[in-house]
Amino acid sequence: MEMIERYIYAVTQKLPQSQREDIAVELRGLIEDMLEDRSEKGRYSGSDIEEVLLELGNPKELADKYRSTKKYLIGPELFDSYVYILKVVFSVLGISIGVGFLIQVVLNPVNILDHFIDMIVSSVTAFPMAFGWTTFGFAMGELAGNVKRKDLQFEGEWKPANLPPIPVEQSRIKRRDAVASIVFYAFFIVLFSFSSDYLGIWVFHDGFSGVVPFLNDQKYATYFVFIILILSIGILNECVKLAFGKWTYKLVLYTTLSNTISMIVLLFMLSGADFWNPTFMNELVEANVVTAGSDAYHTVDWIWNQAPLWIIILLLINIVWNSIDGFIRARKNKK
Amino acid sequence: MKDAHEHLDKLMQELRRGTITIGVLSQLSEPQYGYSLVTMLGKNGIRVEPGTLYPLLRRLEKQGLLDSKWDTNEARPRKYYLLSKTGKEVFELLVGEWKNIVNSLNHVIEDKGDDVDGND
C-alpha cells in the first residue's frame, strides 16, 4: 500500500497546489478499482500493485498529461541563441584567464604558484557569474516574449495584416555586435577580477620593473564588487538586446534605465577620493618616470586630476548617445 | 530503419488521441466515473489507458463540456462525470463531423484510381 501512496505523491507534487487533493483522491480510487479488477475480492499481492502502477506509467509523464502546458525558463525559441552566447562568453573567459595567467608568469615567474591560485580563484568566481547573468538575461527576454504573446491573444483574432513588419536593417540587433560587446565586457571582468595591480603605468628600466597603479589598493576589494556588477549589467543588456532582436521603444527604455543605474554606481565610485591611488604622483616620481617640480610633472599632475572628470563626461555622453541612437533606430521601425 | 509496426504505432497514437474524445463523450449521457468508462469503452473495442483518460476527463471538464460530482456514499469516493448542456451540443455536432470524415475518407480510400468529377 505504501507504494501506491508514493506513486500518488510523485504525480501530485508536480501539479498545482489547488488540484493536488482532488487528483490524489481520484487516482487512489482508480488504482483500487484496477486492483480489484485483477484479483479475487479484496486480495491482491505486491506484484499486482506493481503491475497496476506500471500500467499507469511513469508518474512524471502522467503529471505532464494533467498539466498539458509546458513552462520554460528559456524556451525553445531562444535556447539556440542562449547556448551560442554561453559558448562565446565561456571561451572568452577561458582564453582571457589563460592569457592573464601567462602574462603574470612572464612578468613575475617566481610567484608562479600564486598566479596559479589566482587563476583558479578567478575561474571559480567568473564562470558562475557569467553563467548566471547570461541565463538571467535570457530568462528576462523569455518573460518579455511571453507577455507579448499574451498581449496578442488579448487583441483577438490573428490577421495577416497584424504581421509585424520586417525590422528595418538599421533597427535590427546584429548578433555579431552584441557578441563583440559581450567579449569586451567579459575581458574586463577577467582583467578586474585578476588584479588591479597591472592597471596603471608600466615602468621599464632595463626590463619590467613595476607598475604605478591607477587605483587605490586598500579600497579595491570594496570597489571590485561594484565594478563587476556594472560589467555584468553590461552583459545582461546585450543578452536582453539579442532576445528582443530589434530596437523597440521598450528596449530603449530598458537600456536607458539599466545604463542610468550603472552610471549612478560609477559616479559614486569615480568621484570618491579613495577610489584612485592617493600617492600616484609620488610613486611616479619614485619610479623615476618624472622629476618632482618639472614641467612634465605639472602636466601629468594636471591630467591626473582632470582625468576622473573627463571619464565621467565621456561615459555620460556615451549613455545619452546610446539612448538617442536606440530611439532613432526604434523609430525607423514604426514608419 | 523503423519497421512498419513502429510507424503504425506512432500514427495510431495520433489517430486515437482525437477519437477517444468522441468515445468518451458518447458514454456520458449517464454519469460515469473514470474506471467504469475505461471498462465500458474497452468492451466496445476502444482501448484507452486510464493514464490518458483521467487527465482527458479533467480537461473536458475545464473546457465546460462535462460536469462532475463527487459521490462519497460508496466504499471509496468516486468522481462522476456527465455531459453538460454545451457538452451535449458539442457531441451532436462532433458526431456529424465524424460521419463526414468517415464518408470522405472511405470515398478517398476506396475510389482511388477512377477519378470522379472534381467538384464536390
- Predicted confidence (pLDDT) per residue in A271-284, tens digit: 776 788 888 888 88
How many structural domains are present in chain A?
2
Same-domain status, A114 and A56? no
The pLDDT, as a whole number, for residue A209 is 72
The pLDDT, as a whole number, for residue A150 is 54
Q: Give the whole-angstrom CA distance, residue A27 versus residue B57.
A: 13
| Beta bridge partners of residue A201, listed in sequence order | A212
A7 has pLDDT over 70: yes
Last residue of a domain, one of A29, A45, A67: A67
The pLDDT, as a whole number, for residue B118 is 47
| CA angle, A247 then A248 then A249, to 5° | 130
B1-22 exposure pattern, b = at least 16 Cβ within 10 A, e = fewer: eeeeeeeeeeeeeeebeeebbe
A65: nearest CB among B33, B35, B51? B51
CATH number for the domain that contains residue B87: 1.10.10.10
Same-domain status, A289 and A258? yes
Chain A, nearest residue to B50 by Cα:
A56
Digit-coded pLDDT (tens) for A212-238: 888 887 777 778 888 888 888 888 888
Helix (H, G, I), strand (E, B) or coil at A197: coil
Same-domain status, A23 and A40? yes
The pLDDT, as a whole number, for residue B99 is 95
Subunit contact A26:B51, Cβ cutoff 8 A: no
Last residue of a domain, one of A25, A46, A67: A67
Subunit contact B55:A65, Cβ cutoff 8 A: yes
Confidence category of residue A78, pLDDT binned at 50, 70, 90:
confident
Same-domain status, A22 and A99? no
Q: Give the whole-angstrom CA distance, residue A192 versus residue A180.
A: 19
The three cell numbers of residue A288 are: 623615476
Subunit contact A25:B52, Cβ cutoff 8 A: no
Q: What is the DSSP letter of B68?
A: E
Domain limits at A231? 76-334
Confidence category of residue A292, pLDDT binned at 50, 70, 90:
confident
Same-domain status, A101 and A150? yes
Average pLDDT over residues B26-55: 90
Q: Give the whole-angstrom CA distance, residue A120 versus residue A220.
A: 20
Task: For cell 579613495, name the residue.
Answer: A274
Count other C-beta atoms under 10 Å from residue B57's C-beta.
Answer: 22
How many structural domains are present in chain B?
1
Helix (H, G, I), strand (E, B) or coil at A12: helix
The pLDDT, as a whole number, for residue B66 is 93
Which of A26, A52, A54 to probe by mutation at the B interface, max B CB count within 10 Å?
A26
- Which value does ipTM take for this structure? 0.78
Average pLDDT over residues A181-186: 81
The pLDDT, as a whole number, for residue B22 is 92
A231-241 exposure pattern, b = at least 16 Cβ within 10 A, e = fewer: bbbbbbbbbbb
Average pLDDT, chain B: 87
Is the Cβ–Cβ distance between A280 and A304 less than 8 Å? yes
Average pLDDT over residues B9-16: 87
Of A9-13, B42-46, B73-77, which range is least confident?
Answer: B73-77
Distance from CA of B52 to the nearest CA of A (A): 7
Residues 61-100 of A with CB under 8 A from B: 61-62, 65-66, 68
Q: How far is CA A277 from CA A17, A223, A264, in A?
A: 57, 13, 21
Which of B20, B33, B54 to probe by mutation at the A interface, max A CB count within 10 Å?
B54
Q: What is the DSSP letter of A276?
A: B
To which H or E segment does residue A208 belong? Answer: strand A208-213
| Beta bridge partners of residue B69, listed in sequence order | B80
Q: Give the whole-angstrom CA distance, residue A65 versus residue B54.
A: 9
Digit-coded pLDDT (tens) for A111-163: 889 889 988 988 898 899 889 988 998 888 888 776 665 555 555 566 777 67
A79 has pLDDT over 70: yes
